[in-house]
Amino acid sequence: MKLFDVYPINNIEIVKGQGSLVWDDKGQEYLDLYGGHAVISIGHTHPHYVERLTQQLGKLGFYSNSIKIPLQEELADKLGKISGREDYQLFLCNSGAEANENALKLASFANGRKKIVAFTKAFHGRTSLAVSATDNPKIIAPVNQTENVVFLPHNDVDALKTLFAEQGNEICAVIIEGIQGVGGIQVASDEFLQSIRSLCTQYGAYFIADSVQCGYGRSGKFYASDFAGVDADIYTMAKGMGNGFPIGGISISPALKPWHGMLGTTFGGNHLACAAALAVLEVMEQEHLMDNAAKIGGYLIQELQKLNHIKEVRGKGLMIGIDLPEELNQVKKNLLFNHHIFTGEAKPNVIRLLPALNLTREHADRFLEALSKELKA
Ligand X SMILES: Cc1ncc(COP(=O)(O)O)c(C=O)c1O
Query: What is the binding site for ligand X (CB under 6 A)?
Result: 95-97, 100, 123-125, 177, 181-182, 210, 212-213, 238
Closest alpha carbon to 76 in 87, 66, 65: 87
Q: Please, are residues 293 and 317 in contact by the beta-carbon 8 Å criterion?
A: yes
- In the complex, the smallest distance separating the C-beta of residue 207 from ligand X, rounded to whole angstroms, is 15
Q: Closer CB to ligand X, residue 96 or residue 297?
A: 96
- In the complex, the smallest distance separating the C-beta of residue 125 from ligand X, rounded to whole angstroms, is 3
- Give Cα separations from 292 to 3, 303, 353 (angstroms): 39, 16, 15
- In the complex, the smallest distance separating the C-beta of residue 38 from ligand X, rounded to whole angstroms, is 7
Q: Closer CB to ligand X, residue 179 or residue 294?
A: 179
Sheet holding 341-342, edge to edge: 14-18, 21-24, 29-32, 341-342
Q: Closer CB to ligand X, residue 90 or residue 185?
A: 185
- In the complex, the smallest distance separating the C-beta of residue 126 from ligand X, rounded to whole angstroms, is 6
Nearest residue relative to ligand X (C-beta): 96
Please report the DSSP string for 227-273 in residue order.
Answer: GGT---SEEEE-GGGGTTS--EEEEE-TTS---TTSS--SSTT-HHH
- In the complex, the smallest distance separating the C-beta of residue 18 from ligand X, rounded to whole angstroms, is 24
Amino acid at 12: I
Start-to-end CA distance of the chain, whole Å, equals 44
Q: Closer CB to ligand X, residue 95 or residue 358?
A: 95
Type and span of the H or E element at 108: helix 96-111
Q: Which long-range contacts does 152-156 make (Cβ < 8 Å, 24+ apart)?
A: 152/117, 152/118, 152/119, 152/120, 153/119, 153/120, 154/119, 154/120, 154/121, 154/122, 154/180, 154/183, 154/186, 154/188, 154/192, 155/186, 155/188, 155/189, 155/192, 156/192
Q: Closer CB to ligand X, residue 181 or residue 244?
A: 181
Q: Closer CB to ligand X, residue 101 or residue 374?
A: 101
- In the complex, the smallest distance separating the C-beta of residue 118 from ligand X, rounded to whole angstroms, is 11
- In the complex, the smallest distance separating the C-beta of residue 94 from ligand X, rounded to whole angstroms, is 8
Q: Please, are residues 160 and 128 in contact by the beta-carbon 8 Å criterion?
A: no
SS3 119: strand
- In the complex, the smallest distance separating the C-beta of residue 98 from ligand X, rounded to whole angstroms, is 7
Q: Closer CB to ligand X, residue 130 or residue 301?
A: 130
Q: Distance between CA 41 and CA 115 in Å, rounded?
A: 34
**Secondary structure letter of residue 216 according to DSSP:** T
Q: Distance between CA 178 and CA 160 in Å, rounded?
A: 16
Q: Closer CB to ligand X, residue 15 or residue 139?
A: 139
- In the complex, the smallest distance separating the C-beta of residue 211 from ligand X, rounded to whole angstroms, is 8
Q: Closer CB to ligand X, residue 79 or residue 328?
A: 79
